[in-house]
Amino acid sequence: MSSVATATRTTEKRPEAPKGRSRIAKLLATQQLQIVFVLLVIYAIFAIMRPETFPTLYNLRGIVVNTSILAVLGAGMTLVIITGGIDLSVGSVLVFSGVIASKTMVAAGGQGWGVAALGVAVAGACGLGWGLLNGVLIAKLNIPPLIVTLGTLGMALGFSQIITKGVDLRDAPDVLVNNIGFGNVFGQVPWISVIALVVVIVVGVLLHRSRWGLHVFAIGSNAEAGRRVGLKVDRQLIGVYALAGLLAGFAGLLNLVFYQSTTIGGQTQTNLNVIAGVVIGGTSLFGGVGTIFGTIIGLFIPAVLQNGFVILGVQPFWQQVVVGAVLVAAVYADQTRRARALRGGRSTGFRFPFLNPHGTTPTKEQS
């Protein structure tokens, strides 16, 4: 969505189409700008209140590191939500993948790069497997995404606890822990964040520049229209959930080497935190609209708040209160403005697509 055409239209008479152009594009741009602005304001407030501790490179590094794993999950979640779906299972899939990867690497033995590569492959495969299961159940059996991924959330976590008997595993090869878990590039930039950034950029290019990504938007916008022009909607949906699963699996490995723990009990809110970041970043729960960039900004807001409150000595639980309020406000803004931007849109009575089998909600196209 570029803005090339704005300048050429001013002289034309527009009897029946008042400002039709790019309402959503503009809306998206404004929403993203607003959210960047919100992030900067929050950062500035903390920086003014604690100038000697908050705006330091060291502290910023901490915030970035804490956001890195969520960003990998958020990239996948953005795709899923653009299709009009949801994935509640990411936190559990992350834990499951970490558990299996840890077990496999211990069984294989050694601390070198060979076993590390094995761990990466196994973690990715686990995530891919859960993602494929999600996708097939959603696309082929037409079970609502909310229910499918609620189911796999429980299953993946349950299996993790069965395998470990509920006790966290702590084994990860030294090369991974020392390099990726704690290592830095150029002395200051953490490897884990560099890896997350690469993942996010690759997914961003895939979504915003490739045909495959265009079809993700098309399916979220009007699945039936896609079907009629010959898009393989089912296969595309399975691909999106599989990719989200793969990323969750990879995040599981990052999580394992960063915390040196499978964090079985620590991921119960991960899915909701990621969804909140995606939505705050301007991706619509109604499908068809969203950006990876917005998601990253949306994930930084809770991280900055958390960090800032800790430094201020405010109870960090306030972070949840503020993030909750920002989330509700973001969705409300999205909903009302989108209703006005799309002709025939309704301001009330929206039904969220992920509560229904895919593609069965009334399209916003009908006038």
Partner 1 sequence: MAPVLQARGITREYGHVTALAGADFEVEAGEVVALIGDNGAGKSTLTRILSGTDLPTSGEILFEGEPVTLGSPVAARELGIETVYQDLALAPHLSPVQNMYLGREVMKHGLLGRLGFMDKAAMRAGSRKAFDDLGATVRDLDGPVGGMSGGQRQGIAVARAAAWASKVIFLDEPTAALGVVQTRNVLDLIRRTAANGIAVVFISHSMPHVIDVSDRVQVMRQGRRVATFRTADTSMEQLVGAMTGALEGSTA
Binding site for partner 1 (CB under 8 A): 1-5, 9, 12, 14-17, 20-25, 206, 209-212, 214-215, 217-218, 220-222, 224-231, 288-289, 341-343, 363-367
Torsion of CA 137, 100, 119, 256, to 10 degrees: 100
23 vs 103 by CB, closer to partner 1: 23
Least spacing, CB of residue 74 vs partner 1, in Å: 20
Report how far residue 77's alpha carbon sits from residue 174's, in angstroms, rounded to the nearest whole number.
30
For residue 48, the Cα-to-chain-centroid distance in whole angstroms is 30
Which 3-state string (H, E, C) describes 317-341? Answer: CHHHHHHHHHHHHHHHHHHHHHHHH
CB-based burial, 105-124: b 16+ in 10 Å, e otherwise: beeeeeeeeebbebbbebbb
Work out how close the CB of 19 gets to partner 1 at its nearest, in angstroms, rounded to a whole number: 8
How far is Cα 167 from Cα 102, in angstroms, rounded to an integer?
A: 13
Question: Is the Cβ of residue 172 or residue 338 nearer to partner 1 in the bound state?
Answer: 338
Which residue, 223 or 254, is less far from partner 1 as judged by CB? 223
CB atoms within 10 A of CB 213: 18
Q: Which residue, 240, 212, 254, is CA-closest to 95? A: 254
Q: Which CB atom, from 283 or from 319, has the smaller least distance to partner 1?
A: 283
Name which of 254 and 278 has its Cβ closer to partner 1. 278
Least Å from the CB of residue 49 to partner 1: 41
Residue 234's CB: how many other CB atoms inside 10 A?
19
Least gap, CB of 220 to partner 1 (angstroms): 7
Of the pair 26, 50, the CB lying nearest partner 1 is at 26
| Separation CA 62–CA 58 (nearest Å) | 6
Q: Measured between alpha carbons, how far is residue 219 from residues 84, 232, 282, 365 in Å?
A: 8, 10, 18, 13
State the burial class of residue 331 (Cβ atoms within 10 Å of its Cβ: 0-12, 13-18, 19+). middle
Tell me the closest approach of the beta carbon of residue 21 to partner 1, in angstroms: 4
Characterize 290-322 residue by residue with b for buried, 16 or more Cβ atoms within 10 angstroms of its Cβ, and e for exposed. Answer: bbbbbbbbbbbbbbbbbbbbeebeeeeeebeeb
Closest distance of CB 279 from partner 1, Å:
17
Look-up: residue for tokens 């900055």? 304
Closest by alpha carbon to 131, among 83, 169, 94?
94
Q: How many residues does the chain have?
A: 367
Give the nearest distance from C-beta 286 to partner 1 in angstroms. Answer: 10
Give the residue with the Cβ less far from partner 1, 124 or 226: 226
Residue number, 141 or 229, with CB nearest to partner 1: 229
Min dist CB 79 to partner 1, Å, is: 14
Nearer to partner 1, 217 or 258 (CB): 217
* Min CB(2)–partner 1 separation in Å: 6
- Look at residue 50 and give its three-state secondary structure: coil
**Based on CB atoms, which residue is closest to partner 1, 322 or 339?**
339
CB of 341 to partner 1, least distance (A): 6
- How far apart are the C-alpha atoms of 167 and 162, rounded to whole Å? 10
